[in-house]
Structure 1
Amino acid sequence: MWRTKEILTAVGTLACAVGIGYVMQSSDTAQQRYGAAEAQRPVADNGALLEVEGITLTSAALDSPIALPTLDDRVVKAAAPQSLPPAPESHGAAIPATCDIIAEADAVAAAMVKLTLEAACLPNERLTVHHNGMIFTEVTDDQGRLSVTVPALAEEAVFILAFGNGDGAVAQTSVPELSDFNRVVLQWKGTAGFELHAREFGADYGEAGHVWSGAPRDMTAAVLGEGGFMTRNGDIEASEPLMAEVYSFRVAKAAQEGDVTLSVEAEVSEANCGLEIEAQALELRGDDPVKTQNLTLAVPDCDAVGNFLVLNNLLQDLKVAQN
């Protein structure tokens, strides 16, 4: 009964303020949802619901830190949340006068793109990948190479790979299969602790239809029409990395119909407690332009470490019709 009251109080308070549902879950609840391995973290001793303030949602397009191809005005341009400080510059030594940087993009299954980079003169260098509003940080290997698989967000998919010194490359490919998919992106910077969760067709937390970074599922499920899958791009080992999680669902060949419930969650940790954290959500539905929302969230103080903040209504749930 206490838990029910806590949830209702939290939702009511925030629904009045910003029109979204917001729940603080204790680590006892987290253990039920994610399993014991994910829930064994410190918890606030008093177990009380902490007052949460300072949530801001906006939907304006953001300025880009580098030149991008011209896009429809309604499509968000590639950028991190504007109020975040710039990413650290490339650490590297002087770049040779002749430095060949070659990027290639190849469409693969499930409307994904294999992105490769050859830059022998830029080994172990930080770079930023931009694609139709999505942005994440990667690092080349000791040979100056990079190979990542990225969810496409446009049928004519353009990828910009930019190093901190201003060098970079552009790669492009066609992804006609994208029209079969809906995609939702959640992106943030550093150790904000955000997670994207999808619960398919009434699945509860921890069940087979609960798709998140802890149970991402393989893209084969989408190819076969069995459900969606989660991918994460960004090198978490880089300094202040830009990270992106993407949930993909193949609506054109779904084996069943119903709703996919989407939520944004954040664990209160030693790295984010007492701070304001920011994220950006991108939603690609059918032929519509990419929709963007920016989120600023005030995290409770550090005595709440181990609890989870759940935003239930930030993202529109997917409506899936069987074909």
Structure 2
Amino acid sequence: MSYIKETVTAVGTLACALAIGYVMQSSEAANALYGNAKSDRELRSLDAETSMLVVKDITLTSAEFSEPTEPMLDDSSNETTVQPAPDDTVHLSNDTTSALSEIEETSCEISAKARPMAAAMVNLTLTAPCLPNERVTVHHNGMIFTQTTSKTGSLSIDVPALAETAVFVFAFGNGDGAVAQAKVEDLTDFGRVVLQWKGDTGLQIHALEAGSDYSGAGHVWSGQPRSMAAAITGEGGFITMNGDLDAVEPLVAEVYTFPAEMESREGGVKLTVEAEVIQANCGTEIEAKSFELRGRDQLVTQDLSLAVPDCTALGSFLVLNNLLQDMKVASN
């Protein structure tokens, strides 16, 4: 695999976030998604200097209609007279109207389920019949990403858990939503590193396992993500991506999952965050948030804000060293 491009390196340590919680999505909340707090330290690169931040009621109306009738002849007269049609108006009782309204409301009910899977993953299913092709924001332990329901209003995704009692909140733009919960008993068998952002930032997690270089089999990233089977068998980690990348300004969460035992293996894992300079981000400032979960340790978060070089640096990479904690064998 070829991965040879001009690279710009930025080194720095980021401040931990003060709090993690569910933030229901709204047009105003999206702007404050990653917070505006800035730290006193800066990431520096050859080309860029960066600062740290971290149904409704249904009215049923009966229809009045009359079927055409044949003319009736009166023997005492040559005149043709038309007999009036019977009253065919449909009258619905209050009980019937209430029952039909209840059926309609039930058909629009939003429901969600969470089912634990292997590798501390959770399968989420959402049913929202009256919200097809609709943007929905998923919240879990500080991790936030957006998805789009199908044409029938359904959604099925696999999400990495960040807590043993994993609670997932689904929020639609109109204020509707649902909550699902699952017990993830094997969470401590795996570690997680999450990087989340908004829009097309060019950001990527790169894991170099067991001393691998960029051309080796131990290089795990979105271009070589592996499957969860690698973590289940102990081979190594894998990358998952949550978020509808085709949506307008999507909220995206990229996650590297690895077996906890890898922390004691020879060579360990070197973790970096890289940002490719692309047309969508050149000359702008991009923001992101990272989460790290190691065994039974508390979830650690960091915020970052990175100034991307101008468009003359297209194709280059900003490599953020020391943003994520490497996994290395402790020296004796």
TM-score band w.r.t. shorter chain:
0.7 to 0.9
Matched, 1:104 2:57: no
Cα distance in 1 between the residues matched to 2:263 and 2:314:
39
Give, in angstroms, the shift of residue 288 of structure 1: 1.2
Spell out the pairing of 1:1-323 with structure 2 (5 A cutoff). 32=2, 34=3, 57-61=14-18, 64-66=22-24, 80-83=33-36, 96=56, 98=105, 99-252=108-261, 256-319=265-328
Cα distance in 2 between the residues matched to 1:298 and 1:287:
34
Q: TM-score, normalised by structure 1?
A: 0.74
Give the partner amino acid of 2:183. Answer: S
Query: Which structure would you say has the larger Rg?
Result: 2
Cα distance in 2 between the residues matched to 1:300 and 1:243:
22
Cα distance in 2 between the residues matched to 1:147 and 1:135:
16
Cα distance in 1 between the residues matched to 2:220 and 2:271:
10
- When residues 56 and 276 of structure 1 are mapped into structure 2, their CA distance, relative to the original with a 3 A threshold, is farther
Cα distance in 1 between the residues matched to 2:160 and 2:329:
20
- When residues 184 and 114 of structure 1 are mapped into structure 2, their CA distance, relative to the original with a 3 A threshold, is same
Cα distance in 1 between the residues matched to 2:195 and 2:132:
29
- Asked if structure 2 preserves the Cα contact closer than 8 Å seen for 1:132 and 1:158, the reply is yes
Secondary structure of the corresponding residue to residue 312 of structure 2: helix
- Asked if structure 1 preserves the Cα contact closer than 8 Å seen for 2:188 and 2:260, the reply is no
- When residues 201 and 288 of structure 1 are mapped into structure 2, their CA distance, relative to the original with a 3 A threshold, is same
Give, in angstroms, the shift of residue 250 of structure 1: 1.0
Percent same amino acid at aligned positions? 60
Cα distance in 2 between the residues matched to 1:155 and 1:111:
9
- Asked if structure 2 preserves the Cα contact closer than 8 Å seen for 1:192 and 1:272, the reply is yes
List runs of 5+ in structure 2 lacking aligned partners: 26-31, 38-54, 58-104
Give, in angstroms, the shift of residue 215 of structure 1: 0.2
Q: What's 1:72 paired with?
A: none
Q: What's 1:20 paired with?
A: none
- Asked if structure 2 preserves the Cα contact closer than 8 Å seen for 1:231 and 1:245, the reply is yes
Cα distance in 1 between the residues matched to 2:250 and 2:128:
20
Cα distance in 2 between the residues matched to 1:212 and 1:238:
22
Secondary structure of the corresponding residue to residue 169 of structure 2: strand
- Asked if structure 2 preserves the Cα contact closer than 8 Å seen for 1:155 and 1:175, the reply is yes
- Asked if structure 2 preserves the Cα contact closer than 8 Å seen for 1:156 and 1:175, the reply is yes
- Asked if structure 2 preserves the Cα contact closer than 8 Å seen for 1:276 and 1:297, the reply is yes
After superposition, the CA RMSD in angstroms is 2.7
Secondary structure of the corresponding residue to residue 215 of structure 2: coil
Cα distance in 2 between the residues matched to 1:166 and 1:220:
38
Cα distance in 1 between the residues matched to 2:116 and 2:23:
26
- Asked if structure 2 preserves the Cα contact closer than 8 Å seen for 1:56 and 1:295, the reply is no
Cα distance in 2 between the residues matched to 1:286 and 1:117:
29
- Asked if structure 1 preserves the Cα contact closer than 8 Å seen for 2:212 and 2:218, the reply is yes
Give, in angstroms, the shift of residue 257 of structure 1: 3.8
Give, in angstroms, the shift of residue 56 of structure 1: 8.9
Give, in angstroms, the shift of residue 289 of structure 1: 1.3
- When residues 204 and 56 of structure 1 are mapped into structure 2, their CA distance, relative to the original with a 3 A threshold, is closer
Q: Which moved more, 1:142-151 or 1:255-264?
A: 255-264
Secondary structure of the corresponding residue to residue 221 of structure 1: helix
Give, in angstroms, the shift of residue 286 of structure 1: 1.2
List runs of 5+ in structure 1 lacking aligned partners: 1-30, 68-78, 85-94
